[in-house]
């Protein structure tokens, strides 16, 4: 009989989740930096991204990298969503989700009183953030399809408000994703054991 103190910690993140997480991190890095390179060729706003943070070297190179990252981001994201739904993880981890609960946990976080003792359970702020970024990823893909193949997706183009509007939607969805990543990294720095769990699973 194994002594209770010698038992392995419970699994926090299954292998499929860890793999999709790190593949998505790579895909996001490729997509964002190559997207900035593409943006610089036809800016939407009165600024450019510095060449040091762009990928591709020029417009054609940025597009090639963007297409390469697109398939990884799309298929990996689809697999992640399907696994969450079919394994029941979506319901277990992200629901219930209420405005009052989000407000209370956000207030506790600001006061430094939000606990992270059990990494298997997400607080309301985490749930809201992860649900938001999943929705944001879907918006990124759909708006990206309009920007890439506007003629082939006429209904989607109309739903997006036209090609030009789809470009703005795509940019704002990208900015939201980058904001999430920055916040995510800050939270990991504050609670380092979350990084260990995402690497080892425990």
Which tens digit of pLDDT belongs to each residue from 123-172?
Answer: 888 899 999 999 999 999 999 999 999 999 999 999 999 999 999 999 99
Sign of CA dihedral 99, 103, 109, 113: negative
Please give the model's pTM, rounded to 2 decimal places: 0.88
**In this structure, what token pair is assigned to residue 107?**
């207030």
* Count of helix runs (H) and strand runs (E) in the chain: 8, 0
In tens, the pLDDT along 8-42 reads: 667 888 999 999 999 999 999 999 999 999 999 99
């Amino acid at each position: 009989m194994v002594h209770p103190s010698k038992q392995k910690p419970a699994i926090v993140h299954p292998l499929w989740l860890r793999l999709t997480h790190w593949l998505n991190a790579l895909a996001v890095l490729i997509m964002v930096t190559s997207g900035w390179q593409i943006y610089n060729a036809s800016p939407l706003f009165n600024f450019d991204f510095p060449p040091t943070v762009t990928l591709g070297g020029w417009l054609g190179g940025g597009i090639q990298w963007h297409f390469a990252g697109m398939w990884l981001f799309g298929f990996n994201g689809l697999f992640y969503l399907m696994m969450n739904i079919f394994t029941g993880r979506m319901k277990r981890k992200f629901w219930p989700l209420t405005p009052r609960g989000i407000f209370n946990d956000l207030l506790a976080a600001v006061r430094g009183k939000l606990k992270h003792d059990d990494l298997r359970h997400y607080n309301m702020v985490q749930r809201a953030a992860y649900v938001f970024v999943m929705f944001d990823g879907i918006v990124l893909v759909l708006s990206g399809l309009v920007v890439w193949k506007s003629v082939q997706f006429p209904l989607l183009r109309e739903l997006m408000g036209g090609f030009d509007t789809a470009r703005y939607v795509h940019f704002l969805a990208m900015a939201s994703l980058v904001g999430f990543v920055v916040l995510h990294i800050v939270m990991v720095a504050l609670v380092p054991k979350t990084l260990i769990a995402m690497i080892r699973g425990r």
